[in-house]
Amino acid sequence: MTGVLTAALALSWVAIGLLAAGYAALTVQVRELRGPGGPAGLAGPARVHELAAPRARTVVLVVAQSCGTCRTVFPAWGNAARLLRARGLHTAVLSADGSAHWELDPEDRLVLQSQLSAPLLLAYQPALAVVDHHGAVRSTEPVGSVRRLEELCAALAADGTAVPGER
Partner 1 sequence: MSGAVAPEHAPPPVQPTRSGRAWRRQTGRAPDGAVVAVSGVGALSGDWFWSLRATSPRASVGLTVGAAGYLGLRAAEFPTPVEAVTYRGRELALRSGGTAAEPRWLAGLRGARHDLMCAGPGAPPRLADLVALLADLDPADAPGGLVLRTRGDTRLWGVCGRQYVAGVGTLTVYPRAEAAGLVPATPGKAVAHGRLWTTTAGFAPGTGGYFVHAGPTAVAMVRDERGIEADASDASVADLLESLRVDWAGAPS
Nearest residue (CB) to partner 1, 90 versus 128:
128
Q: Check binding of 35 to partner 1 (CB under 8 A).
A: no
Coil, strand or helix at 141? strand
Shortest gap between Cβ of 132 and partner 1 (angstroms)? 20
Q: State which of residues 61, 64, 92, 131 lies at the interface with partner 1 (CB under 8 A).
A: 64
Q: Is 84 in the site for partner 1 (CB under 8 A)?
A: no
> Going by DSSP bridges, is the β-strand pair 90-95/58-63 parallel, antiparallel, or unpaired?
parallel
Count of residues that bind partner 1 according to CB under 8 A: 18
Q: How far apart are CA 42 and CA 76, in angstroms?
A: 37
Name the burial class of residue 153, with classes exposed (0-12), middle (13-18) and buried (19+) by CB atoms within 10 angstroms of its CB.
buried
CA distance 120 to 62: 9
Residue environment code for 8-37, b if the CB has 16+ CB neighbours within 10 A, otherwise e: eeeeeeeeeeeeeeeeeeeeeeeeeeeeee
Burial of 85 (0-12, 13-18, 19+ CB in 10 A): middle
Residue 68 near partner 1 by CB under 8 A: yes
Q: Which is nearer to partner 1, 67 or 80 (CB)?
A: 67
Residue 117 φ then ψ, to 5°: -70, -30
Residue 57 near partner 1 by CB under 8 A: no
Instruction: Out of 142, 150, 160, 162, point to the residue binding partner 1 (CB under 8 A).
Output: 142
45 binds partner 1 (CB under 8 A): no
Please tell me whether residue 36 binds partner 1 under the rule CB under 8 A: no
Nearest distance in Å: CB 155, partner 1: 13
Residue range at the interface with partner 1 (CB under 8 A); choices 12-20, 43-51, 75-83, 140-148:
140-148
Binding site for partner 1 (CB under 8 A): 64, 66-70, 123-127, 141-145, 148, 165
